[in-house]
Structure 1
Amino acid sequence: MENRIQVGNEYVIIKAKEDGVNVIGLTRGSDTRFHHSEKLDHGEVMIAQFTEHTSAIKIRGNAVIMTAYGEVESESKK
């Protein structure tokens, strides 16, 4: 049997509350690395999914993050 990671259909919605919000996908495995980056401007929305390759998402800037578990707001660096 193949040793595969089970990936659910977990989506997150990220809505930028300012220009220049960075959304960074991080890899899964023994070496965690950046593998994808997007920049959102105020009002832009991104729908992201955890996959076989993406185990974490880092958000830098003021944004609202909506998940099946609730909503959280990231803040800008002051």
Structure 2
Amino acid sequence: MSGGIFVEEYVVIKAKQSGVQVIGLTRGHDTKFNHLEKLDKNEVMLAQFTEYTSAIKVRGPAVIYTKLGTIDTEE
């Protein structure tokens, strides 16, 4: 990306039950819904922050692994 800082970061999301939603949000003047995935129990998704994806929202019981540590959405 020219004209700014751009670092690709990855997170791993593991669903603790079926129906967990992973929502990607765009960057820019208006934050918009970009993509939706529904995970089944124990399904794992590797998600990436990119030039276009600035936020990832997880809805439902899941464990999220990042380079900074682990997050359990139920704690």
TM-score by structure 2 length?
0.91
How many residue pairs align between the two structures?
A: 73
Q: Which residue pairs with 1:44 in the alignment?
A: 43
Tell me the SS of whatever aligns to 1:29.
Answer: coil
Which ranges of structure 1 fall in alignment gaps of 5 or more residues? none
Tell me the SS of whatever aligns to 1:12.
Answer: strand
Taking the aligned partners of 2:50 and 2:8, their CA distance within structure 1 comes to 8
Q: Which residue pairs with 1:71 in the alignment?
A: 70
Taking the aligned partners of 2:68 and 2:42, their CA distance within structure 1 comes to 22
Q: Which amino acid aligns with 1:57?
A: I
Which ranges of structure 2 fall in alignment gaps of 5 or more residues? none
The share of aligned pairs that are identical, in percent, is 62
Stretches (4+) displaced over 3 A: none
1:57 aligns with 2:68: no
